């Protein structure tokens, strides 16, 4: 099995102006999806991310505060799953609850460094 990272993008629930009840209903969809991934043995780890960020760039290691206006999409969280291939990872991502709220999932295979670095 390989590991894949789901990177979640899209507007925040605050930006969408969801009511507390709508946000709670959406969170229940997330919990249901997570439970399904766990029941299938695919779930490894995952967390939501807060919007505040720091960016370090250049040889002088300049630190700037975000979020950044030039960012077209907000990364709202990530999930790591185990799947046999991209097809299975794509199938697992079908349950992402925010597609109808202009959200999306970027799927990336995690490089296995076993044997190269065991630190």
Residue 92 included in any domain: yes
Domain count, the chain: 1
Residue 39 included in any domain: yes
The whole-angstrom separation of Cα 65 and Cα 52 is 8
* Whole-prediction pTM: 0.87
Residue 119 included in any domain: no
Residue 59 included in any domain: yes
Domain that holds residue 67: 2-109
Residue 118 included in any domain: no
What pLDDT is attached to residue 119? 64
Q: Comparing 69 with 25, which gets the higher pLDDT?
A: 25
| Average pLDDT of the segment spanning 14-18 | 92
| 109 — pLDDT class (breaks 50, 70, 90) | very high
Query: What CATH number is given to the structural domain containing 8?
Result: 3.30.70.1060
Q: Comparing 3 with 72, which gets the higher pLDDT?
A: 3
Q: Is the pLDDT of residue 73 over 60?
A: yes
Residue 117 included in any domain: no
- Contact criterion met (CB below 8 Å) for 4 and 85: no
């Amino acid at each position: 099995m390989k590991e894949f990272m789901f990177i979640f993008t899209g507007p925040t629930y605050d930006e969408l102006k969801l009511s507390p009840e709508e946000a709670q209903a959406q969170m229940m969809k997330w919990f249901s999806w997570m439970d399904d991934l766990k029941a299938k043995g695919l779930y490894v780890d995952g967390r939501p991310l807060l919007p505040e960020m720091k960016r370090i760039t250049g040889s002088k290691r300049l630190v700037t505060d975000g979020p950044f206006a030039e960012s077209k999409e907000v990364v709202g969280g990530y999930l790591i799953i185990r799947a046999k291939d991209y097809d299975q990872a794509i199938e697992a991502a079908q349950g992402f609850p925010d597609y109808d709220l202009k959200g999306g999932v970027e799927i990336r295979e995690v490089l296995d460094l076993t044997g190269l670095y065991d630190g």
